[in-house]
Amino acid sequence: MFKIIKNANLYTPAPVGKKDLLICADKIVAIEDCLDQYKLPGDVEIIDVQGAVVTPGFFDQHVHLTGGGGEGGPATRVPPVMPSQLLRAGITTVCGVMGTEGTTKFPEELYAKVMGLRQEGLTAYMHTGSYQFPSPTITGSPRKDLITIEPVLGVKIALADHRCSFPNDDEMLKLVADVRMGGMLSGKKGVLHVHLGDFGGAYEQFERLIARGLARHHFSPTHTGREPKLFEQAIEFAKKGGVIDITSGGGNVYPFVECVQRALKAGVDRSRITMSSDGNGSMPKFDANGNMVAIVAAPVNANHAMLKEMVANGIDFETALMMTTSNVADSLGVKEARINIGANANLCVLTNDLNIDTVIARGVVWIKGGESIKLANFEA
């Protein structure tokens, strides 16, 4: 029931130095300089990390849990993700999304996957909707999904992309108003998670809607580094108080680290940048005539890989870590991805070169020495 993590070089994500952590069941219940004085009933598992960096488990807000794809027909649909894929990447908290295929894949299926991950021991949420407008939902209404289905944090849609439905301003106004009201009435933030294509016009539409009275924090644009003008507009959006999500799994006009460096240099506050992998989604390539010529599945470990790349290229560790932990939680309005008393016991232990050594999800050790020591159903 009890675990003590000893001699942690702790990042909450803020650096706090050497600490011991006490875990009871699935929660962090004490953080002290030394916990040797505690007399606890029953067996206590001691995990001495000997000065290793301990961080919150990573939070990836854009993973195609049920599989993306389908751009090349049914044979190109990506299979669902398995829990160990997430955990080996350090991901203990995830927000699932749908993608291009919103006709024969359903938000009900995504909901079932989210609840399955929760039963396995991960922390999981979802957005209803997919690329299309009107959004496919579980209850028939984006507002009702937010109000009545606890894991639903927002609605996903695609804009400025050849696979989207090109909703006009009035249609978007009604959708974002539904997201806002659904969030208000359920005690959630309520976000519209927007897949951005490279056609242009999406940020202009955001600004028109904001000018009509909608709050900027309801807009959650992703794939913001796709092309130069889009990225410049993303920077301005963030400087006005928005949050921008840069895809760690590829598809950016500049290398990922350069995107982050450009944003920071331009004056974007580090708390306004998140990264997500687009993991388990499809990465199709199209020729000049719009025909798909290749497709692969995006990796789920890209956030960890880019965390290491950022540090190797001079971005301080706390700033890099925030982009896959606390910034993500704040942008979605959930109390996750921080280490504090009462928080879920979701932790990563990193080696000196920032590789993943140990992953603890809801108090259970899944990864040790970089290897899976526990598997979920159907993974054996």
Spatial separation of the C-alpha atoms in residues 146 and 185, rounded to whole Å: 8
Given a cut of 90, is residue 291 above it in pLDDT? no
Given a cut of 80, is residue 271 above it in pLDDT? yes
Residues of the chain with CATH 2.30.40.10: 2-55+337-372
Spatial separation of the C-alpha atoms in residues 176 and 179, rounded to whole Å: 5
278 part of the active site? yes
The superfamily (CATH) of domain 58-332 is: Metal-dependent hydrolases (3.20.20.140)
Residue tagged 């982009």 (tokens): 323
- Does the 2-55+337-372 domain belong in CATH 2.30.40.10? yes
Count of CA atoms in the C-beta half-sphere (13 A) of 160? 21
Which segments of the chain does DSSP mark as H helices, in order? Answer: 83-88, 107-120, 142-148, 169-186, 202-211, 228-239, 256-265, 302-312, 317-322, 326-332
Spatial separation of the C-alpha atoms in residues 328 and 324, rounded to whole Å: 6
Residues of the chain with CATH 3.20.20.140: 58-332
**C-beta of residue 118 within 8 angstroms of C-beta of residue 124:** yes
**Model confidence at 314, in pLDDT bands (50, 70, 90)?**
very high
pLDDT digits (tens, 9 = 90+) for 157-179: 999 999 999 999 999 999 999 99
Spatial separation of the C-alpha atoms in residues 197 and 242, rounded to whole Å: 18
* DSSP letters for 183-221: HHHHTS--EEEEEE-SSS-HHHHHHHHHHTT--GGGEEE
**Model confidence at 336, in pLDDT bands (50, 70, 90)?**
very high
pLDDT digits (tens, 9 = 90+) for 41-81: 888 999 999 999 999 999 999 999 999 888 888 888 899 99
pLDDT digits (tens, 9 = 90+) for 180-193: 999 999 999 999 99
Percent of the chain's residues with pLDDT above 90: 87
Given a cut of 80, is residue 215 above it in pLDDT? yes
**Whole-prediction pTM value?**
0.96
Looking at residue 164, its pLDDT comes to 93
Angle (CA) 190-195-199 rounded to 5° is: 135
Given a cut of 80, is residue 380 above it in pLDDT? no
pLDDT digits (tens, 9 = 90+) for 73-131: 888 889 999 999 999 999 999 999 998 888 889 999 999 999 999 999 999 999 999 99
CA-closest candidate to residue 361, choices 125, 122, 124? 122
Q: Which of 20, 178, 245, 278 is catalytic?
A: 278
Given a cut of 80, is residue 38 above it in pLDDT? no
Q: What is the mean pLDDT of the chain?
A: 96
